[in-house]
Amino acid sequence: MSGDLSTAGQILRATGLSAGYDGRAIVHDVSVEATPGKVVSIVGPNGSGKSTLLKSLVGVVPVLGGSVSVGDTDITNMTPERVATLGVGYVPQIDDVFPPLTVKENLDIGGYLLPRHEVAARIDSVLEFFPRLKSMMSRRAGKLSGGERKMLAMGRVLMLRPSVLVLDEPTANLAPLVATQLLEEYIRGFAEKGSTVLLVEQRAKAALRVSDWTCVLGGGRIVLQGPPSELENNPMFVESFLGGGASRR
């Protein structure tokens, strides 16, 4: 599915990571590792620090303790623009496009680090992936529907040819069918072709279905983690996220 869009992955690793705003930690002592070919997901209630964790990995929020690395490179507190040069693509939960720029210009910026002569071909491959965007290349991103906008946000990050994808709730606001397709075909597809995917997903069931490993964040700490098959049978996880055991498959 992900054809020529995928790129060989690198390990993204956080070790004993603390991060937060104004010197106050919100995420405490988190260690996660995302490896090539795998999808690692993070679930947890609102305000548990999922977005803050991702932001600290990509350099948007300061790391207060511990370390982050990509492959062999230490990226702790590296600027976001340098993290991008290492092939780490990040889609934030909100503000995930450039509203006044056209769809085409959003993709151009996504390909900012590519050699110039490769940008046009890369846009073509991304459009093959999200054909819906083809007919709206000259429309301003601010005028897209929520779903089209998410596709553009994904398209923008894929332009970078990322080896590591860090995605904050990529399916928010999407119609259930589109959300499922995005997760289970596209995102799963990238991992299967060798990319590294770290994903925040509100809907625990969907997260389990697409992941190889899931971490549960609570109060800024990892309170539970494991492969989906294990979490599905963990009474505490079922209680908090799958609705009291009623929804077991």
Ligand X SMILES: Nc1ncnc2c1ncn2[C@@H]1O[C@H](COP(=O)(O)OP(=O)(O)OP(=O)(O)O)[C@@H](O)[C@H]1O
169's tokens: 């709730």
Map tokens 């929804």 to a residue: 247
164 touches other proteins by CB under 8 A: no
Size of the site for ligand X (CB under 6 A): 11
- What separation, in Å, do the N-terminal and C-terminal C-alpha atoms of the chain show? 27
Interface with other proteins by CB under 8 A: which range of 64-72, 81-89, 179-187, 237-245?
Answer: 81-89
Size of the site for Mg ion (CB under 5 A): 3
**What residues from 2 to 61 belong to the interface with Mg ion (CB under 5 A)?**
50-51
Q: Could you give the CA distance from residue 111 to residue 129 in angstroms, rounded to a whole number?
A: 16
Stretch 47-76: interaction string toward ligand X, x if CB under 6 A = xxxxxx------------------------
Q: Which is nearer to other proteins, 172 or 223 (CB)?
A: 172
Q: Could you give the CA distance from residue 64 to residue 20 in angstroms, rounded to a whole number?
A: 7
**What residues from 7 to 26 belong to the interface with ligand X (CB under 6 A)?**
21, 26
CA–CA distances in Å: residue 142 to residues 124, 135, 152: 22, 16, 11
Sequence-separated (6 or more) residues with CB below 8 Å from residue 142: 97, 99, 100
Task: Give the 3-state secondary structure of residue 53.
Answer: helix
Q: For strand 196-200 and strand 39-43, is the pairing parallel, antiparallel, or unpaired?
A: parallel
Stretch 73-112: interaction string toward Mg ion, x if CB under 5 A = --------------------x-------------------
- With CB under 5 to 8 Å by kind, the binding choice for 44 among Mg ion, other proteins, ligand X, none is ligand X
The single residue among 28, 98, 144, 179 that binds other proteins, judged by CB under 8 A, is 98
**34 - beta bridge partners?**
12
170's tokens: 């990529």
202 touches Mg ion by CB under 5 A: no
Interface with ligand X by CB under 6 A: which range of 1-9, 42-50, 100-108, 119-127?
Answer: 42-50
Burial class (CB within 10 angstroms; exposed 0-12, middle 13-18, buried 19+) of 104: middle
The single residue among 74, 81, 118, 239 that binds other proteins, judged by CB under 8 A, is 81
95 touches other proteins by CB under 8 A: yes
Residues at the interface with ligand X (CB under 6 A): 21, 26, 44, 46-52, 93
